[in-house]
Amino acid sequence: MLACSGNEGTKVKKEDRAEQPSVAEPAAMLDYKTAGSKGVGTITSFEHKPFDAQLANRGVELFVSKCAMCHSFDRTLVGPSLDAVIKRRTPEWIMNMMLDPATMLEKDADAKVLSKEYGSPMISLGLKQEEARAILEYLRERNSTTK
């Protein structure tokens, strides 16, 4: 997950991406509840609760104001498409990326790969943990097969 840093001039062309060595293999589709990296940060575990529509509604508002300028669900913008992101990343990884992208980009292999691929590192959004949780719930709603 990457976001707008205002550095659009450093985007990597698609042709150039294949020639760059990867730090880690891209994440495959996985059972997000039991497999995959948790990332690096304060979120080390996640309690899977039933889908919360009210929390997801708050997440929509936050996504529009904090994320939509760089992320979409149907195409790549400055950052990657978030379609099926919860099938590729654990909830802990997603929340750690939202809460502390600098640490993730420095220490997490998958985040490093994304940063190289998109050429524009995600900036800190100043989110609180409960806000990141609301955005995560919205991502669950958008990827409703994992509710």
Nearest to 36 by CA among 108, 107, 90, 114: 90
Can you give the pTM of this predicted structure? 0.74
50-147 — its CATH code?
1.10.760.10
**Which sequence spans correspond to the domains of the chain?**
50-147
Q: Specify the pLDDT at position 144.
A: 75
Indicate whether 40 pLDDT > 80.
yes
Mean pLDDT, the chain, integer: 80
Cβ proximity of 11 and 119 under 8 Å: yes
Per-residue pLDDT tens digits for 48-62: 899 999 999 999 999
pLDDT at 15 over 90: no
67's tokens: 């994320």
pLDDT, tens digit (0-9, with 9 covering 90-100), for 120-139: 889 999 999 999 999 999 99
pLDDT digits (tens, 9 = 90+) for 47-102: 989 999 999 999 999 999 999 999 999 888 898 999 989 888 999 999 999 999 99
Of 35 and 108, more confident: 108
